Copies of this chain bind each other. A is one copy, B any other.
Amino acid sequence: MPTLADVIRELESRYDPRWAESWDAVGLVCGDPSQPVRKVLFAVDPVAAVADEALSWGADLIVTHHPLYLRGTTSVAATTFKGRLVHTLIKNDVALYTAHTNADVADPGVSDALARAVGLTGPLVPLSPSADDPRRGLGRIGSLPSPMPLRDFVRQAAAGLPGTAGGLRVAGDLDREVLRVAVSGGAGDSLLGTARAAGVDVFLTADLRHHPASEFIEAGSGPALVDAAHWATEWPWLAEAARLLTSGTAAGGINVETRVSETVTDAWITTAKCEELTSRTPGLKAGA
């Protein structure tokens, strides 16, 4: 029967921990390398609902994209949701393993799956290639099969990504023709300048805040921006990671069953539309 060590070996042949950023925390969080593993659940976030899903299904291992403890902890007491998760997992013999920035920069990695989900075809290259290996890196640049208005690309991207309350937010001219597209799973504000320098027509990423986004648009002459839910941009990778694990272990004569979590771990559950400014501004002209 396959052990956790066998599964980790296969995962790390794809997502080598040495490629993780220095500030990151990847690898095995809890579990014993010698324990048997038959069922593996893939999820974006290590949270209680995902652990419940794992227990219901009988998973032996959860592989998440986000670390449980990105910063070190000196306690796993069941006084926080993270400590309660550790207790639940250890008591139920469920291991937890994280592939984070090492999965981001892998070839193929998190942004490859995102690129395919939003309809990019043909070859993909890193948006920010690693100095040590240019086939690896953060983000991906690819092309659409043919130019289309930004408006149509947004519809296509929305159709390819899993649903969240906020959906996609768009900045730029909806009639602009777009062909070359950069995508980056997760928070992409640090790549805004790189995306501009790359000369792409649109940059799709997540967690863009007011100052980076509005200064980027104000500077002009750069790509349009599409902002999705952080979770939604990373979720497409789970299926690919699961597929690679099953095929990789099968090639070694080992049978591992995988499943992708369907729990939406985006925080937002609904949205509400605010008043249009034009309908209420007369009374606000303070100086009148």
Q: Which positions in A face B, CB cutoff 8 Å?
A: 25, 27-33, 39-40, 42, 45, 47-48, 66-81, 83-84, 86-87, 90-91, 95, 154-155, 157-172, 174, 186-187, 206-211, 213-220, 225, 227-232, 238-240, 242-243, 246, 256-260, 262, 264-278, 280-281, 284-288
C-alpha spacing A214/B230, complex, angstroms: 11
What are the residues of chain B within 8 A of A70 when measuring CB–CB? 74
Query: Chain A interface secondary structure, helix, strand, loop or mixed?
Result: mixed
Chain copies in complex = 6
What are 16 A-to-B residue pairs whose CB atoms are below 8 Å?
Answer: A29-B76, A30-B86, A32-B78, A33-B77, A86-B90, A90-B91, A163-B275, A187-B209, A211-B230, A213-B267, A240-B286, A258-B286, A259-B286, A260-B284, A262-B281, A262-B284
What are the residues of chain B within 8 A of A83 when measuring CB–CB? 30
Between A75, A163, A216, the greatest number of chain B beta carbons within 10 A of the residue's beta carbon is seen for: A75
Picked from B168, B239, B275, the residue with its CB within 8 Å of the CB of A274 is B168
C-alpha spacing A169/B267, complex, angstroms: 9
What are the residues of chain B within 8 A of A285 when measuring CB–CB? 259-260
C-alpha spacing A90/B239, complex, angstroms: 32
Of all chain B residues, which has the CB nearest A27? B75
C-alpha spacing A31/B86, complex, angstroms: 10
Picked from B28, B161, B269, B276, the residue with its CB within 8 Å of the CB of A163 is B276
Of all chain B residues, which has the CB nearest A84? B32
Contact A272 B155 (CB under 8 A): yes
Q: Knowing A72-B73, A230-B210 touch, does A287 contact B274 (C-beta < 8 A)?
A: no
Between A71, A73, A230, A242, the greatest number of chain B beta carbons within 10 A of the residue's beta carbon is seen for: A73
C-alpha spacing A26/B272, complex, angstroms: 33
C-alpha spacing A271/B166, complex, angstroms: 8
Picked from B28, B48, B239, the residue with its CB within 8 Å of the CB of A75 is B28
Picked from B74, B230, B262, the residue with its CB within 8 Å of the CB of A29 is B74
What are the residues of chain B within 8 A of A157 when measuring CB–CB? 272
C-alpha spacing A264/B210, complex, angstroms: 12
Contact B81 A86 (CB under 8 A): no
Contact B269 A174 (CB under 8 A): yes
Query: Shortest beta-carbon distance, A159 to chain B, in Å?
Result: 6
Q: Knowing A74-B70, A286-B42 touch, does A171 contact B267 (C-beta < 8 A)?
A: yes
